[in-house]
Amino acid sequence: MRLIGLDPGLRHTGWGVIDVDGNRLRFVAAGTVSTGAAQKLPERLALLHDGLKAVLALHRPDEAAVEETFVNKNPDSTLKLGLARGVVLLVPALGGIPVGEYSANHIKKSIVGAGHADKDQVAMMVQRLLPGSGVHGKDAADALAVAICHAHHRGTERRLAAGRVLAGAAP
């Protein structure tokens, strides 16, 4: 199974692709789709859409996972991040790819064991969990963390559903 994790941002949206085989995770690719602050908002959203669409076409993930938006103190920044996140959710959905969503604290707790871990701790654990992932920037490391979190949680959900079926309950 191939998963893509996405860390939304209007300036930089990180993406990370992993392959999952049971409990084994394998790094495939990671990077960032970036837009320029001097560009108009519609152009930036279009660039984000086209960049993510190209990444999905190249790596062909089976599922996607997106980090949920947190609320900034600046309402304008929050609104722009929400627009970028909308594009990030839309692109895989248009491709028929199921999308999971996880809060930042949930992702950090899944990867590091602490919900308030800093980006450096997350990046270090991503490199330990995905040997060969290297350094692709903090946004890409965050996206890989989203993919790892989704891999762990979707595996647990599948085992729980299988247990319910064995017990005679509806899935």
What was the pLDDT predicted at 159?
A: 55
What was the pLDDT predicted at 155?
A: 59
Using alpha carbons, select from 94, 114, 89, 92 the residue that is nearest to residue 104.
Answer: 114
Using alpha carbons, select from 36, 31, 35 the residue that is nearest to residue 58.
Answer: 31
The one-letter code for the residue type at 136 is H
Percentage of the chain modeled with pLDDT above 70: 89
Give domain 2-166's CATH architecture.
2-Layer Sandwich (3.30)
The 10s digit of each residue's pLDDT in 5-16 is 999 999 999 999
Cα 136 to chain center, whole Å?
14
Q: Read off φ and ψ for residue 7, nearest 5 degrees.
A: -115, 100
Q: What is the 3-state secondary structure (H, E, C) of 17-62?
A: EEEEECCEEEEEEEEEEECCCCCCHHHHHHHHHHHHHHHHHHHCCC
The 10s digit of each residue's pLDDT in 19-45 is 999 889 999 999 999 999 999 999 999
**Residues labelled as active-site residues:** 7, 67, 139
**Both tokens assigned to 75:** 């309402």
- The beta-strand segments (E) located in the chain are 2-7, 12-21, 24-34, 63-67, 99-102
Q: What does the alpha-carbon distance between residue 6 and residue 3 come to, in Å, rounded to a whole number?
A: 10
**Both tokens assigned to 101:** 């969503």
Q: Mapping DSSP to helix (H, G, I), strand (E, B) and coil, where does residue 70 land?
A: coil
